[in-house]
Structure 1
């Protein structure tokens, strides 16, 4: 049986005896139907893996005994911050899940002029909580032991104006530069991906004022979720750990 990877929201240490979080206990006990004596692998965001054995299961909790711990670094040398204008429905969830598999460190959901999602502050906060759970699940699946942060939703210009010492990139279908023409080395990148209708000309001009460099992926126009993942993969190949 494959040993499941489970995220724990509090710091871990061997040889702790702990109760799993409610979400993890439900997954282990009800979904996977695991039993005392079965093994699990825990991670707490500290870039370590903690091997553990289930000691007790009932309807209220699952307890495990941590047997050992070790550093297991699967992070890219490229620190990549994705600013993604919020897309409709499952597209945003798909982008978050797959970008984390590809090694993104931080994701900021953005509101732009042509953003197709209109929610109030409370519903956006609930969305961020939901997206953070998707990020955790993606880490459980892909083997990352640090959990990327899904930041609160902010407006596009607020995000562009934030201080950033690294390279700032904006995808643009009429740009003259490509990822392969960017100078090396690069260790920090802030990547902007616009909405399904694209950024307005005023927004493109605004990104230039904040020193964003326009780049082109290729001759075809990509959907927003395709553009994000294609750009991330290309950046990881050139500056990170893919390929």
Structure 2
């Protein structure tokens, strides 16, 4: 069944009115009829089955029929910081990392970024990416929508890393020399309920100076296997590895 995120707390056994985008998608896109059911996720990340009671011109009245327990979120809190890639690659990263369980996505300004975001267009760009994250969260049946932040600098990322139990930076020079253990060791050091921040460069990669700045702050430089991954592939590879480590190896 279709899933929607509702910006309010829901109460079992009550009825609410739904308008705007969700109304449009339910009635105009999905062509839902009275009596049909779908899922709502509320602001407390709780999942409810609802049924359509009455359809009006600009709103639909639904009843909150059943609360459902579901455990679909990653056991650890995962954030990724990505250099700004060319084209629509960041759209892909946001969509697929949401499907893979990320909690926060941070666009990052680095020396070798080809793309530059102008300040006057920042809000519109972030809003568009946030919408992509919302749609991907609905499609993948998550209980949370990842946050897409404004662009941060290396200095801001380093400051943010203090809020996480572990922080790694993917660095291709580590992969070239065959380093393959730091990432695995970092994951092994974490327990469910903890958090990790992962940093990735754009097409040109991170400069040695940027990596040194991060490692001096305690961030761990690591390779992601023996091959050099594209900027849009590396975050997805890392998230898949985290999912395997925490969700499949039980």
Listed as ranges, the matches of 1:183-194 within 5 Å are 184-186=188-190, 187-194=194-201
User: Is the aligned partner of 1:170 residue 2:169?
Assistant: yes
Aligned residue for 1:94, secondary structure, equals helix
Residue equivalent to 2:232: 225
Name which of 63, 69, 72 aligns with 1:71.
69
Listed as ranges, the matches of 1:99-110 within 5 Å are 99-110=97-108
Change (3 A) 1:103 1:8: same
Q: CA deviation at 1:190?
A: 0.8
Name which of 46, 49, 52 aligns with 1:48.
46
Name which of 207, 210, 228 aligns with 1:200.
207
Name which of 206, 213, 216 aligns with 1:209.
216
Change (3 A) 1:79 1:20: same
For residues 119 and 90 of structure 1, the distance between their equivalents in structure 2, rounded to whole angstroms, comes to 14
Aligned residue for 1:144, secondary structure, equals coil
Residue equivalent to 1:92: 90
For residues 136 and 106 of structure 1, the distance between their equivalents in structure 2, rounded to whole angstroms, comes to 12
CA contact (8 A) 2:171 2:223 kept: yes
Deviations 1:202-239 (A, max 9, x none): 2111111221111111222111011110111112222x
Residue equivalent to 1:236: 243
The two structures, once aligned, show a CA RMSD in angstroms of 1.8
Q: Number of paired residues?
A: 240
Q: CA deviation at 1:39?
A: 0.8
Aligned residue for 2:108, secondary structure, equals strand
In the superposition, the TM-score normalised over structure 2's length comes to 0.89
Change (3 A) 1:82 1:68: same
For residues 138 and 111 of structure 1, the distance between their equivalents in structure 2, rounded to whole angstroms, comes to 25
Q: CA deviation at 1:100?
A: 1.4
Q: CA deviation at 1:70?
A: 3.0
Aligned residue for 2:173, secondary structure, equals coil
Residue equivalent to 2:155: 157
For residues 215 and 145 of structure 2, the distance between their equivalents in structure 1, rounded to whole angstroms, comes to 31
Change (3 A) 1:233 1:45: farther
Structure 1 stretch displaced more, 224-233 or 3-12: 3-12
Q: CA deviation at 1:49?
A: 1.0
For residues 61 and 128 of structure 2, the distance between their equivalents in structure 1, rounded to whole angstroms, comes to 25
Aligned residue for 2:4, secondary structure, equals strand
For residues 215 and 103 of structure 2, the distance between their equivalents in structure 1, rounded to whole angstroms, comes to 24
For residues 100 and 45 of structure 1, the distance between their equivalents in structure 2, rounded to whole angstroms, comes to 18
Return 5+ residue gaps in structure 2 as ranges: none
Name which of 105, 118, 121 aligns with 1:120.
118
Deviations 1:12-31 (A, max 9, x none): 12223212241111111111
In the superposition, the TM-score normalised over structure 1's length comes to 0.91
Q: CA deviation at 1:165?
A: 4.2
